[in-house]
Amino acid sequence: MTSPSLGDREKVVSKLPAGLQQDLKIRTAQHGIDIQHAVEAGIKAWRALGSNLSPIDTAGAKSFSTWLPPGQWEEFRQDCNARGVSIVQGLSQSVLVWLEKNPAPDVQRPGVVKRRIICNQKGGVGKTAVTAGLGEALAEDSDKLHSVRISKHFAAALNQDEHEQQSPLDYEDLPGLGQRVLLVDFDPQSHLTKQLGHEPLPLDGDSLTKHMAGEAKGDISDLIVEVEGDRFGGRLHLLPACTDAFLLDVKLSGVRAREAALERALLPLEDHYDAILVDCPPSLGLSMDAAAYYGRRRPEEEPGNSGVLIVVQAEDSSADAYGLLTAQIDDLRNDMSLDLEYLGIVVNHYDARRGFIATSSLEAWMDIKDPRVVGVIGDLKEQKEAVRLKQPLLAYAPKCDQAVALRALAREIA
């Protein structure tokens, strides 16, 4: 049947197998086009075929509607009748033709591995949660759709109108980014390692610290473990921490070109990943110098490919710590002529119910234009539950507000 037109198109209603509907939804999202245009092209291609395709099982087909150019649906119905196939069979074959002509695009791989340094010398701001969630969002399956939207607090801070400030933005289902990601636990407290369900490396074995200090016993790739989960498909890995990292600054003091120690250690891994995320300790010592040096922009890199992501909270002590960190980064830029970029500021653990201190602090962060705020992550129970259960947040609660905000963050700085 045909419904009243919308502009220069008319609404048509039929049925389509659920599997084809899902494939069509995913594939059009991957190519960035509307479903209506895909169906239009599919019907046109099917009508041009010299013969019918093999019959498709349409048992259990579900209601399906879209918008087509005036007259196309009626001509399609006539063709179905002439070819001796049902409308549902003809539509199913048309969608299949479009899917076969438009295969899933390959995941875009960066020319140079993206090195993201997640830091703040103040502890407790949630650097580890942001590092893990960002890595999970980057690694999600590109052949499936995942809910994405900016949190309502971030939308309000971006001066949305009054109605939008009172309600969240709509979810948008988008394909995962499908990147190969390495999470590096650079903090001797090992929070990232433990939160993802792994144990810190033993003191008497190999470790990132030993590789940085020139005391390695083996290949650094042997230390890598997989963060398991169907939605990550073997693309998300972790380099666990070891408590010997408490001695890292002491060890680095006697190392040649110590600022490049982290780069020398991780360089053998870079060809295997699209992004390497380093969860830094709350420190302004030599380890932070090495992390910042690793995150610098290399000569062959595009702007924004690598850099520093600063995690803060909407309260005063975060502002003090931010000042100390940016001062250190500015010193490194000047003393070593580093091209070190800010990827942005993430305001974490935000809760407007805390009143004026939280809301006014968020406003102050938003007033900083360089670097700008690229994400606001709510202080919600799902993250705490995931940590307690030692599960990735995006596997434990993939549709929670924190998960969809982290996916928005991943796309904002991708």
Kindly state the average pLDDT of the residues 285-295.
91
Q: Is pLDDT at 244 greater than 80 in this prediction?
A: yes
Q: Is pLDDT at 190 greater than 90 in this prediction?
A: yes
Q: Provide φ and ψ at 342, rounded to 5°.
A: -90, 125
Residue pLDDT, tens place only, 90-128 = 999 999 999 999 999 998 889 999 999 999 877 788 999
Could you tell me if 45 and 98 are in contact, meaning their C-beta atoms sit under 8 angstroms apart? yes
Q: What is the token pair recorded at 248?
A: 């890292």
Q: Is pLDDT at 162 greater than 50 in this prediction?
A: no
For the chain, percent of residues with pLDDT exceeding 90? 68
Half-sphere exposure of 170 (CA within 13 A, CB side): 3
Kindly state the average pLDDT of the residues 148-156.
57
User: Residue 140 and residue 180: Cα distance in Å, rounded?
Assistant: 9
Q: Which residue has the higher pLDDT, 135 or 109?
A: 135
pLDDT of residue 217: 87
| Cα 91 versus chain centre, distance | 35
Secondary structure (3-state) at 62: strand
Lowest mean per-residue pLDDT among 58-67, 147-156, 179-188, 321-330: 147-156
Q: Is pLDDT at 219 greater than 70 in this prediction?
A: yes
Residue pLDDT, tens place only, 312-358 = 988 877 777 888 888 888 888 888 888 999 999 999 999 888 888 88
pLDDT of residue 150: 56
Which amino acid is located at 197 in the chain?
A: G
What does the CA dihedral 286, 181, 383, 376 come to, rounded to 10 degrees?
80
For the chain, percent of residues with pLDDT exceeding 70? 93
The helix or strand, by DSSP H or E, that contains position 10, with its residue range, turns out to be strand 9-16
SS (H, E, C) 136-174: HHHHCCCCCEEEECCCHHHHHHCCCCHHHHCCCCCCEEE
Residue whose token pair is 């942005």:
344
Could you tell me if 28 and 57 are in contact, meaning their C-beta atoms sit under 8 angstroms apart? no
Strand blocks (E) in 137-289: 145-148, 172-175, 181-185, 225-226, 236-239, 275-279
Q: What is the token pair recorded at 303?
A: 């702007």
Could you tell me if 251 and 214 are in contact, meaning their C-beta atoms sit under 8 angstroms apart? no
Could you tell me if 68 and 25 are in contact, meaning their C-beta atoms sit under 8 angstroms apart? no
pLDDT of residue 160: 43
User: Residue 173 and residue 221: Cα distance in Å, rounded?
Assistant: 35
The helix or strand, by DSSP H or E, that contains position 4, with its residue range, turns out to be strand 2-6
Query: For residue 308, what are the β-bridge partners?
Result: 117, 342
The helix or strand, by DSSP H or E, that contains position 16, with its residue range, turns out to be strand 9-16
- Closest by CA to 188, choosing from 243, 249, 239, is 243
Could you tell me if 116 and 295 are in contact, meaning their C-beta atoms sit under 8 angstroms apart? yes
The helix or strand, by DSSP H or E, that contains position 250, with its residue range, turns out to be helix 248-252
